Amino acid sequence: MIEWEKELDRLLKSNFKEPDPFRKINSEIVLYGAGAMGKMAIDIMKTVNTKPKYIVDKTFEGKLFGIKVIKPHEIPECDRDKATFVISISSIPVEPIFDFLKGLGCKDIRHFYDYSEIAFPKAMPNGWVKKDISEEDIDGIKHTFKALEHNDFSVAHYLQFLWWRLKREEVLFQDHPVLSGKKFFKSQCMPKLTDHECLLDGGAHFGQTVKDFINKTAGNFDKIVAFEPDEYNMQVLEKSVPFNEKIYLRVEAISEKCGDASFQSSLGYASKLGNNGNQRVRTVTIDSQPDIAPSIIKLHTEGDELRGLLGANKTIAEYRPILMVFADHSCDGLYKIAKYLGSLINYKLYFYLHDYCGNSAVFYAIPNHI
């Protein structure tokens, strides 16, 4: 069993790992990574009218969104000295990437979240970090550990998550590796599904969770209701999900209240509700949907997850669904989401990381009767 009290004490006594304070972010930005996070980074950078000079990737060939992609050995000497290299990869540990770029002679290297926190903090909240920890925070974190300590993987992953979000340090636990490719229905805690599941997908994006659910159940389920407020994402979703009279797609956002709200669209994965949006979207609560009796609820709403849960109190009490809730898009993921889920009677709580640097962090609440 992991002694989380000792590790938490060590964490709280350690210093925050600040990005190099002696160099300013240069005007020329070079992205390292042309995968999913690289694509998201480019979408975010567009909102502040900037783009990388080029992208560096070991395997990608050609261009990404019209931006040239080169191999590491092709980085010009002048850029190694003067450009800011922004790591946009979360599928592998980040420290070896820092070391690799340093070995190439790159001088200014930052993770994308450290770059975005300075360059456009309002457009990109996913990289949130909390430097000032209160006694209330510590108490909430300890209660979360107590709810998770039945499962060593959850404790190790929560510790790794805290090290990144509180100290911006990547601390790995060798016996409990990040569960890449094992999210949601492939997770260790997921019980066996029946032929009569009803999935409510809040924040469906391009429909990957919907497709995984269909595959997991071999198409034998009662209903899917997918909510996706970004119109472009919904267009892709409609094309990617096979037509089925049991599948319902809704261009609305899940939140705590019904009405309308400001929404920042066209950010791909990162489109979200927020005060600085470029349009208005309709918001609904899960409790306001009497035609949905979910056995599974997934919430990936870019920071609005806790409000989505608060708008689902009656539904959760009545139907006792499996809950899968993202934790890495706001400080609510530090412990407030866990506090809500831990208050549910006869549920067991789990926490898994499915990417590095605190990404794809999910709380799973599984009802005991399953």
Among residues 88, 123, 158, which one ends one of the domains? 123
- CA 216 – CA 218 distance, rounded (Å): 6
288: pLDDT confidence band, cut at 50, 70 and 90? very high
At 331-355, the pLDDT tens digits run 999 999 999 999 999 999 999 999 9
Decide if 14 is inside a domain: no
Nearest alpha-carbon partner for 115 in 210, 47, 26: 26
Q: Which residue has the higher pLDDT, 287 or 271?
A: 287
CATH number at residue 171: 3.40.50.150
- CA 180 – CA 178 distance, rounded (Å): 6
- Whether the pLDDT of residue 255 is over 70: the answer is yes
Is residue 47 a contact partner of residue 123, using CB atoms and an 8 Å limit?
yes
Residues 167 and 295 in one domain: yes
Give me the pLDDT at residue 67, please. Answer: 96
Question: Measuring CA to CA, how many Å separate 222 from each of 10, 202, 244, 248, 366?
Answer: 48, 17, 11, 11, 20
Residues 261 and 295 in one domain: yes
At 31-85, the pLDDT tens digits run 999 998 999 899 888 877 889 999 999 999 999 999 999 999 999 999 999 999 9
Structure tokens, 304: 């609005």
pTM of the entire predicted model: 0.93
Residue 286 is classified by DSSP as G
At 5-44, the pLDDT tens digits run 999 999 999 999 877 655 666 679 999 999 989 998 998 8
Residue with tokens 């669209």: 265
Q: Is 291 left (phi over 0), alpha (psi -120 to 50) or beta?
A: alpha
| DSSP-assigned beta bridge partners for residue 87 | 32, 111
| DSSP-assigned beta bridge partners for residue 281 | 261
Give me the pLDDT at residue 128, please. Answer: 86
- Whether the pLDDT of residue 264 is over 90: the answer is no
Decide if 119 is inside a domain: yes
Structure tokens, 259: 């009405």
Mean pLDDT of all residues belonging to the chain: 92
| Structural domains of the chain, count | 2
- CA 289 – CA 293 distance, rounded (Å): 9
- CA 134 – CA 127 distance, rounded (Å): 20
Please enumerate in sequence order all residues whose Cβ is within 8 A of that of 352, keeping only pairs 6 or more positions apart, or say none: 153, 154, 157, 179, 182, 183, 187, 188, 189, 361, 362, 364
| DSSP-assigned beta bridge partners for residue 282 | 260
At 103-125, the pLDDT tens digits run 999 999 999 988 887 787 766 66
Give me the pLDDT at residue 123, please. Answer: 67
Residues 144 and 235 in one domain: yes
Residues 254 and 355 in one domain: yes
Residues 145 and 249 in one domain: yes
| DSSP-assigned beta bridge partners for residue 364 | 324, 350
Residues 185 and 56 in one domain: no
Given strand 84-87, what is the order of strands in its sheet? 63-64, 67-70, 54-56, 29-32, 84-87, 108-111
Structural domain of residue 62, as residue ranges? 29-123
What percent of the chain stands above pLDDT 70?
95
CATH number at residue 34: 3.40.50.20
Residues 201 and 338 in one domain: yes
Is residue 344 a contact partner of residue 313, using CB atoms and an 8 Å limit?
no
Give me the pLDDT at residue 125, please. Answer: 62
What are the residue ranges of helices labelled H in 220-264? 231-240
Among residues 93, 123, 153, which one ends one of the domains? 123
Residues 276 and 340 in one domain: yes
Residue with tokens 């708008």: 311
